[in-house]
């Protein structure tokens, strides 16, 4: 159901973009504007709330020896969406059917949307993946058990993945903070975008669904990189 919803949301956003252009549903997507220097436009990946699990927590939530079921490879090398979902519970409420992403990690990490934090009654910081120190916890409920996390709930900081060679081509460095300028009816500039460059990264910018909706960004949207 969550995937159906995402597909529907994508269709709605794309239809809205066509409508606002005044050229009807058959209007082609605007041709991606190549950045200065002839570089390829950076693809946009839109992330919904999701969960990365440790082996120990997987065993508790789904049963000892359980293995994740891959349903889709993600653009970042080795990363994949799983069939498995969990319920996130906070002091004020719960979110059901939250997707688990693989592979397993050293520590469980729960990435929520800012809007989710109000429903859950949790105040997560905006952080890069893996930077969990001092973040709040939550309860995860799976088919075989429940895990109470002391920490690990964050809102993902927007970022751009790229190889070291691509970083050199774009003239940016790993860890650098840049901005992204979007055109269109809900145009705007998103600042505080972290560059994640090096091994294991494939060219793609990651924003969450709230950021995407705020600026009517779809997976076909292009943007201008501002250094
Ligand atoms: Zn990412």
Q: Return d(Cα 64, Cα 177) in angstroms, integer.
A: 41
Centre of ligand 1 from the C-alpha of residue 50, in Å: 12
Whether the CA torsion 137, 122, 175, 221 is positive or negative: it is: positive
CB 170 within 8 A of CB 197: no
Burial class (CB in 10 A: 0-12, 13-18, 19+), 86: buried
What is the Å distance from ligand 1's center to 26 Cα? 32
- 25: CA distance to ligand 1 center in Å? 31
Ligand 1 center to 174 CA (angstroms):
13
**Per-residue pLDDT tens for 31-49?**
444 455 568 899 999 999 9
Spacing, Cα 160 to ligand 1 middle (Å): 7
CA distances from 109 to 106, 151, 197 (A): 9, 8, 21
Could you tell me which of 35, 66, 216 has the C-alpha nearest to residue 142?
66
Residue 186 structure tokens: 């809900």
pLDDT, residue 43, reads 95
Tokens of 157: 């900081």
pLDDT, tens only, 103-156: 999 999 999 999 999 999 999 999 999 999 999 999 999 999 999 999 999 999
User: Residue 3: is its pLDDT beyond 90?
Assistant: no
The alpha carbon of 141 is separated from its chain's Cα centroid by a whole number of angstroms, namely: 22
Q: Which residue has the higher pLDDT, 15 or 199?
A: 199
**pLDDT higher than 70, residue 4:** no
Instruction: Supply the pTM of this predicted model.
Output: 0.82
Write out the residues surrounding ion ligand 1, Cβ under 5 A.
206
Give the distance (Å) from ligand 1 centre to CA of residue 161: 6
Q: What percent of the chain has pLDDT over 90?
A: 82
């Amino acid at each position: 159901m969550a995937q159906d919803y995402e597909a529907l949301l994508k269709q709605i956003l794309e239809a809205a973009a066509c409508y606002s252009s005044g050229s009807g549903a058959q209007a082609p997507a605007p041709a991606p504007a190549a950045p200065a220097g002839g570089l390829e436009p950076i693809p946009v990946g839109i992330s919904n709330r999701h969960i990365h699990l440790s082996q120990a927590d997987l065993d508790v939530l789904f049963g000892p020896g359980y293995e994740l079921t891959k349903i889709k490879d993600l653009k970042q090398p080795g990363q994949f969406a799983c069939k498995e979902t969990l319920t996130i519970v906070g002091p004020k409420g719960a979110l059901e059917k939250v997707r688990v992403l693989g592979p397993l990690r050293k520590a469980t990490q729960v990435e929520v949307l800012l809007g989710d934090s109000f429903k859950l009654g949790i105040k997560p910081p905006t952080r890069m993946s893996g930077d969990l120190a001092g973040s709040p916890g939550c309860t995860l409920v799976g088919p075989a058990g429940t895990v109470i996390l002391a920490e690990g709930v964050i809102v993902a900081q927007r970022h751009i993945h790229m190889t070291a060679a691509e970083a050199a081509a774009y003239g940016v460095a790993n860890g650098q903070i840049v901005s992204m300028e979007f055109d269109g009816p809900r145009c705007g500039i998103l600042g505080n975008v972290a560059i994640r460059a090096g091994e294991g990264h494939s060219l793609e910018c990651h924003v969450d669904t709230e950021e995407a909706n705020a600026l009517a960004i779809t997976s076909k949207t292009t943007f201008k990189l501002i250094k």
